[in-house]
Chains A and B, each alone.
Chain A
Amino acid sequence: MPVSITLTVNGRPAALTVEPNTLLVDAIRQHLSLTGTHVGCDTSQCGACVVHLDGVSVKSCTTLAVQADGRNVTTIEGLAAPDGTLHPMQAAFKEHHGLQCGFCTPGMVMSAVDLARVNPNATPEEIRHWLEGNICRCTGYHNIVKAVESGLQAMKTGAAAQAAE
């Protein structure tokens, strides 16, 4: 029995009709055609599907679309500024070569952004621990850790500048 849900996706309202067992990632990729969120496994291990639900990172492959009813979803497409300026975490991944094939990248970046909420002063060791649920097969993580460290710093600086305004 299909279910109607309404949610806000990247700041815009969306009304969807989904099956009760439709996964959030399928709603995002297939119903909303936002293909930046990826599916890399079927056991909730890889983290390529991480999005934010009300500002908190979740694996959208292990979340039902109906659980997002009435809530705010942010995907990788919603992270950069409307004019295309990269979010500080996205910019840090580019600056520090924190991506190669790009497949794990959206989930990696969304997880890293959420770390700023939980532990904005994370040490490299804490960053590695936080990213335990995101698998990258290309980079060896070295540059991802550098990128996240730098991205967290840039987010703090940005937040401080906003507060001063």
Chain B
Amino acid sequence: MSKSTGIGASVKRVEDYRFLTGRGRYTDDMTRPGQCHAYIVRSPHAHARILSIDTAATLAAPGVLTVLTGADMVADNIGSLPCGWLIHSRDGTPMKEPKHLPIAADKVRHVGDQVAVVIAETLQQAKDAAELLDIDYEELPAVVSPGSVETAGTAVHDEAPDNVCYDWIWGDKDKTDAAFAQAAHVTTLDLVNTRLVPNAMEPRAAVGEYDPGMDEYTLTTTSQNPQLIRLLLCGFTMGLPEHKVRVVAPDVGGGFGSKIYHYAEEVIVVYAARRLKRPVKWTAERSESFLSDAHGRDHLTHVELAMDPDGLFLGMRVKTTANMGAYLSTFSSCIPTILYATLLSGQYKTPAIHAEVKAVFTNTVPVDAYRGAGRPEACYLIERIVDVAARELGIDRAELRRRNFIPPEMMPYDTPVGLQYDSGNFARNLEDALALIDYDGFPARRAESATRGKRRGIGFASYIEACGIAPSNVAGALGARAGLYDSAEVRFHPTGSVSVMVGVHSHGQGHETTFAQIVSERLGVPMEKIEIVHGDSAKTPFGMGTYGSRSLAVGGMAMMKAIDKVIAKSKKIAAHLLEASAEDIEQDGGVFRVAGTDRSVDIAAIAGAAYVPHNYPLDELEPGLDEQAFYDPKNFTFPNGTQICEVEVDPETGVVKIVRFAAVDDFGRVINPMIVEGQVHGGLVQGIGQALLEHAIYDEDSGQLLTGSFMDYAMPRADDVPDFEVKTNEVLCTTNALGVKGCGEAGTIGGAACVMNAVCDALDIGHMDMPASPERVWRVLRDSRPAMAAE
């Protein structure tokens, strides 16, 4: 029988009531007394010098309070938006790190770059007045395509005349070259990992407040990591003391990475609030989000796989050009390097791997982590080339994977790209997924589809990812400029309810439920007496926030440590109350018992004694039951699994329909299966979106984003995607006490590769680039049938 509460139970979410009744509180829902509105004037040009900005007519317009430009920010010493990870090129030089002012002061570098801010009593007044702004630009040629930046003849930044940010290498080149020298077969592949727009459903928003009496600031913002935003706001952009700044991320409507970063608008509203001494609000319109939220992916890759006569992988070479866009967003530099090349071993015992990554600047929106962040890019090239290799060698694709999997008995396994996988049973995930999809029945289903004129294909992705980047000192040695621990405080209240303040943030993941399940089980407190508090720097200890599927593996472990401290103290209090020795106290949930007796006390009574310490060992113990912990992981965690999908292609129209989808995942210990399944479904659909629909396209000449709205950028709708069969195989993580690995990104990491493998199988081709839209599929079919095309 399945559990109804605690760890492993599909507890219904505690946060749902407010969301279902319209009582969620998102940033744009806030209205502050005296609030005024910021409208941001954005560059219509991809690359241009700002010659002058005439604000006179705008300032004279009704309701206008001020107009801010880059010159104002420079005069007030507002700092550059920082990049949080330093990468060094192969020649030892640091990456090019040009300034990124919150409002452009000299040049605009992408369509949508901030040029000026109009602040007025109402948003409509600000917008109307912005029309009167007279900005004189000198247009410059734009660098758009990442593949030809060095010969573009124009530089996005003077500091990088060739538009190269860094030229980085990873792995053992000599060993890899030696592997290729003895290969029986080499498969090569050129592929594009398309640029995507994350498009969380809630557009970004920010409210800045300044209290001149206390000299205090509050920023309410759509962030996945409010404490990190406070750190960057205080330490880099605004230059304020942290104790005077509160950053709140209330309910946040999805993030998928795009709400990790410190954005210009956060600086703008805080700066403007100080100047005006009034609350200043900004909310993005969706078309503005397309031009100002960090985009994802955008890699051009050449990959080669060397094999012996049996198809055993001997070596892999990868050359990637990664588009950074116009500026370095907060974590952009580590995505195509530390979170990408380190995953190139995949689930396979490839002994030698070498990667070269060139990161380039272009006159496009900055690119940063989007769900998966580097790992989907790694998985896509690995799983695509494995399929192409199987096709070339005439080996069944499941069999080729089986032959090359790292077996469980080789765990812990040191990859040639710097990671140590702690655990996983990759073959079992594959076999279970094959059973779920009924692989043996596929030929019959393919034949049946053919009778209806459809081409059916099946595809696999056996993915592995690295979550909870850690430990901090290793990350630091690799260039991280921040710690990667997290924190939690477990505070018992005198009458036995519990508040848990965590440094991670929930914006759809359901932490308020899953974290409470752990507290409930470990401390024997009913769910309704537990509150998980997150998203407010004034309430929570300093933590790094939510991204990279780290919340449970890092934040949850910090909470476990704090719980352990509560238990340790509770044992001492119980020993006093029960007149026993602390060593003799056994704890089971909320019950503390003298071993071998029926004498016990429950945690509510212990909390009561701690806060009303009349019968209490005051000479040995402090009153109160309130413990805090920080946790810095020993290693990454490595969620892994196999996804399989079947597609049916209509050769007449090129329409690809996903007809079956199965996923078997090893997330380590599962706290709430219902929530985990939901994360898998959602992740898979973002992978499917990339494979079949989504593509951010820039005009090569003008640098205009052609897919700048939901009318033009196709995201999956309900009728584009299938139902999913999902299953988890728990192989406990050996490097954290919870045994958890993380589940937030898994679906997206394998999803695109899985679908494209099925599409290529259906089309009987080696490769086509994403997205497999009807037009592109139709063209592939036409081009692969020259006789018919000639008719």
Contacts and interface: CB of A to CB of B under 8 A. Distances in A.
A77 B17 CA distance: 11
Contact of A140 (B12, B201, B203, B721): B721
Contact of B20 (A39, A46, A109, A139): A109
Interface stretch (B247-255, B553-561, B770-778): B247-255
B710 A105 contact: no
Given A41-B286, A42-B287, A132-B717, A139 B723 contact: no
Nearest to A93: B20
Contacts of B12: 94-95, 97
A58 to B, nearest CB: 16
A134 B286 contact: no
Contacts of A125: 719
B724 A142 contact: yes
A143 B18 CA distance: 19
Given A129-B719, A143-B678, A102 B203 contact: no
A120 interface: no
B254 A103 contact: yes
A45 B675 contact: no
Interface in B734-767: 747
A15 B719 CA distance: 40
A100 B682 contact: yes
A38 B26 contact: yes
A72 interface: no
Nearest to A133: B717
A134 B724 CA distance: 20
B21 A141 contact: no
B201 A48 contact: yes
Given A36-B22, A94-B16, A132 B718 contact: yes
Contact of A45 (B25, B202, B710): B710
A43 B711 CA distance: 7
Given A36-B22, A102-B253, A141-B721, A97 B709 contact: no
A80 interface: yes
Given A34-B22, A102-B19, A102-B508, A139 B715 contact: no
A123 B78 CA distance: 57
Q: How many residues of A sit at the interface, in one of the four size bands? A: 35 or more
A15 B721 CA distance: 43
A41 B285 CA distance: 7
Nearest to A105: B19
Contacts of A159: none
A13 interface: no
A134 to B, nearest CB: 7
A100 B509 contact: yes
A43 B709 contact: yes
A125 B678 CA distance: 20
A101 B21 contact: no
Interface in A24-75: 29-30, 33-43, 45-46, 48, 75
A158 interface: no
Interface in A118-149: 124-125, 127-129, 131-132, 134-145
B374 interface: no
A100 B678 contact: yes
Q: Which of A42, A46, A106 has the most CB of B within 10 A?
A: A42
B681 interface: yes
Given A42-B286, A140-B681, A77 B710 contact: no
A76 interface: yes
Interface in B4-55: 12-13, 15-26, 28-29, 31
B566 interface: no
Interface in B606-654: none
A77 B683 contact: no
A7 interface: no
Contact of B508 (A46, A101, A106): A101
Given A101-B253, A109-B20, A137-B715, A43 B26 contact: no
Contacts of B18: 102
B222 to A, nearest CB: 10
A79 to B, nearest CB: 7
A42 B684 CA distance: 26
Interface string A95-121: 101011111111001000000000000
A3 interface: no
B696 to A, nearest CB: 15
Given A101-B201, A103-B202, A135 B715 contact: yes
Nearest to B679: A100
Nearest to A48: B201
B507 interface: yes
B682 A36 contact: no
B508 A145 contact: no
A103 B201 contact: yes
A77 B24 CA distance: 11
A54 B257 CA distance: 40
A24 to B, nearest CB: 15
A144 B286 CA distance: 24
Interface in B251-268: 251-254, 256
A86 interface: yes
Contacts of A109: 20
B510 interface: yes
A134 B15 CA distance: 21
Contacts of A39: 28, 203
A95 B20 CA distance: 12
Contacts of B717: 131-132, 135, 141
B24 A141 contact: no
Contact of A127 (B201, B709, B718): B718
Nearest to A77: B22
Nearest to B674: A97
A36 B715 contact: no
Interface in B687-721: 709-711, 715-719, 721
Given A41-B286, A128-B719, A141 B685 contact: yes
Contacts of A37: 22
A45 B201 CA distance: 11
A40 B28 CA distance: 11
B207 to A, nearest CB: 14
A132 B721 CA distance: 11
B16 A36 contact: no
Contact of A43 (B20, B253, B286, B686): B286
A149 to B, nearest CB: 11
A55 B685 CA distance: 32
A97 B747 CA distance: 17
A80 B21 contact: yes
Contacts of B256: 137
B223 interface: no
B732 to A, nearest CB: 24
A90 B17 CA distance: 9
A39 B123 CA distance: 15
B722 to A, nearest CB: 8
A136 B200 CA distance: 9
A42 B20 contact: no
Given A43-B709, A43-B710, A45-B710, A140 B724 contact: yes
Q: Which 8 A-B pairs have the closest CB atoms?
A: A36-B22, A102-B19, A103-B253, A101-B508, A140-B681, A140-B685, A100-B508, A45-B710
Interface of B: 12-13, 15-26, 28-29, 31, 199-203, 251-254, 256, 285-287, 507-510, 674-675, 677-678, 681-686, 709-711, 715-719, 721, 723-724, 747
30 contacts: A29-B29, A34-B22, A38-B26, A39-B28, A42-B285, A42-B287, A43-B710, A43-B711, A45-B709, A45-B711, A76-B21, A77-B21, A80-B21, A86-B17, A86-B21, A94-B13, A101-B507, A102-B16, A102-B18, A102-B251, A103-B202, A124-B723, A129-B719, A135-B717, A139-B682, A140-B684, A140-B716, A141-B716, A141-B721, A142-B678
Given A40-B203, A45-B711, A128-B719, 19 more contacts: A36-B23, A36-B24, A38-B202, A41-B710, A43-B709, A80-B20, A94-B17, A97-B13, A100-B510, A100-B678, A100-B682, A106-B22, A129-B719, A137-B201, A138-B201, A140-B724, A141-B716, A143-B677, A144-B718
